[in-house]
């Protein structure tokens, strides 16, 4: 999924074929809609109210296919999910570390798309100069923790009760994975 190239992946065991490509700015409304749909459930993000498309333009512009990709997945002509690499902390010394975010429409969950996205992120990371992948996940987001841990991420941190969601204090778990390119060019996970 380098710049401008689209790929199709049939999720054979689930019967749905998803197409993947780099996001374009005219996808942003759908990307934001998928994100906003997760807010009321209070299980995924610390945003408490829907965000506007305009407010996410700077975030969109901070992505580029060669360093900090933003990918979309679609099926039946509709965008149904996205994955982004974002700077961690924003300071130069952290340049080889990224935060990975994945958001899918509810209609396509549990069909292997989250795993496919994350496997692809791990596979391309060394080629993008990324050595450390991080996930910032609420402690009660079981689906996401299982997804990341199932692909080798370890629990690197627990920030207890740092979020308050409708008066309920929630933990933030930091999961991480170190990667490099092995001799055959494929990604190795480093313990």
Binding site for ligand COA (CB under 6 A): 38, 44, 101-104, 109-115, 137, 141-144, 146-147, 150
Shortest reach from residue 119's CB to ligand COA, in Å: 9
Query: Phi, psi (5° rounding) for residue 61?
Result: -65, -20
Tokens at 9, concatenated: 């992946």
Nearer Cβ to ligand COA, position 114 or 126?
Answer: 114
Nearer Cβ to ligand COA, position 112 or 176?
Answer: 112
- Non-local (6+) Cβ contacts of 36 within 8 A are 50, 51
Could you tell me the sign of the dihedral formed by the alpha carbons of 74, 118, 3, 51, in that order? Answer: positive
Q: Closest Cα partner for 102 from 47, 147, 163?
A: 147
Q: List the beta strands (DSSP E) in the chain.
A: 7-11, 16-22, 70-75, 78-87, 97-104, 132-138, 154-165, 168-181, 187-190
Shortest reach from residue 99's CB to ligand COA, in Å: 8
For the chain, how many residues are written?
Answer: 191
Shortest reach from residue 59's CB to ligand COA, in Å: 14
Nearer Cβ to ligand COA, position 129 or 150?
Answer: 150
Nearer Cβ to ligand COA, position 40 or 182?
Answer: 40
Shortest reach from residue 68's CB to ligand COA, in Å: 15
Closest residue by beta carbon to ligand COA? 114
Nearer Cβ to ligand COA, position 38 or 95?
Answer: 38
Shortest reach from residue 110's CB to ligand COA, in Å: 4
């Amino acid at each position: 999924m380098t710049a401008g190239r689209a790929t199709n992946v049939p999720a054979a065991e689930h019967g749905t074929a998803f197409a993947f490509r780099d996001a374009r700015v005219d996808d942003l409304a759908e990307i934001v809609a998928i994100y906003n749909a997760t807010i009321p459930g209070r299980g995924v993000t610390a945003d408490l109210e829907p965000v506007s498309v305009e407010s996410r333009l700077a975030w969109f512009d901070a992505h580029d296919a060669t360093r900090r990709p933003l990918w979309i997945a679609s099926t039946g002509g509709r965008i149904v999910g996205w994955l982004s690499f974002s700077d961690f902390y924003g300071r130069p010394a952290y340049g080889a570390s990224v935060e990975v975010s994945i958001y899918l429409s509810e209609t396509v969950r549990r069909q292997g798309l989250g795993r496919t996205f994350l496997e692809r992120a791990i596979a391309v990371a060394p080629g993008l100069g990324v050595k450390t992948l991080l996930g910032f996940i609420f402690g009660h987001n079981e689906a996401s923790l299982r997804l990341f841990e199932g692909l080798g991420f370890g629990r690197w941190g627990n920030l207890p009760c740092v979020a308050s969601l409708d008066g309920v204090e929630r933990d933030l778990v930091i999961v991480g994975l170190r990667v490099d390119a092995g001799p055959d060019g494929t990604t190795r996970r480093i313990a």
